[in-house]
Structure 1
Amino acid sequence: MTAARRSPVSSRATPAAIARRRLAGLLAVSLSFGGIVGNAQAGMVDAESLARAEAQAGLSPAQRQLLAAVDRAEVAQALVARGVDPAQARLRIAALSDEQAQALAAEMDRAPAGADGVLDTLVFIFLVLLVTDILGFTKVFPFTRSIR
């Protein structure tokens, strides 16, 4: 049998060659995971954010959710427009009990974000009338042609 036809299974590898292959495989795996680990970056922490974090440490998750909502710019503007100081709102949220905060957070999650569905209803009515005009059941809009 020639050397080119010998199968690698039939040849015996030395223990040093096996150790080198295993070491090379381990090195390849460890280097492939090297790019996955993120880099830590430090930055300056201002006193206000530190004080806010310390104040929120003893709060319930619902109270933290409400405070995060008050910290948003559009919510703070809406509070000011209604005559409520955002700092006063934060103090009142911190004074809520867990049950009250959960009820208020649940109410915020259920409340509509837009104009209470009026615009959605008007668009739906418009689309229904448009489709019925196209199908020839009604003649409300002059810019449609019936398919009949």
Structure 2
Amino acid sequence: MKTLRATLSALLILALVVTSLPVMASVDASDRALISTQSVLASDQAGAERQRISDVLARADVQQALVSQGVDPVEVQARVAALSDSEAKEMAQRLDELPAGASGVVGALFAVFIILLITDILGLTDVYPFTR
């Protein structure tokens, strides 16, 4: 009787351990999949700022100014999409500070040109061939 009880106890313990392993594995996987609310809000805000910058760059007068300065508007849109969240936030803040009208567009273009030039010199982008 004691051997049967010892064997049965060992089997029950083994069964509990084996059946609890998948539960433990799924808890760890779900913990890794959690995303904080702050990170979601930050990415949404950065996406909205990028969209706002893209909207400004999509205007016809801005497109003409880019072409007149020898910059391909398609490359500028690609570089805006490649901006980090902090760079997009800084550029959007500069757009807020600029006055309305043509002088604001020129200032925004200048800011885009400078940011792209700095990232090109650092080797993060490849927009201007004269930086090599």
Query: TM-score if structure 2 supplies the norm length?
Result: 0.40
Larger radius of gyration: 1
Larger fraction in helix = 2
Which structure carries more relative contact order (alpha carbon 8 Å, separation 6+)?
2
Query: TM-score if structure 1 supplies the norm length?
Result: 0.36
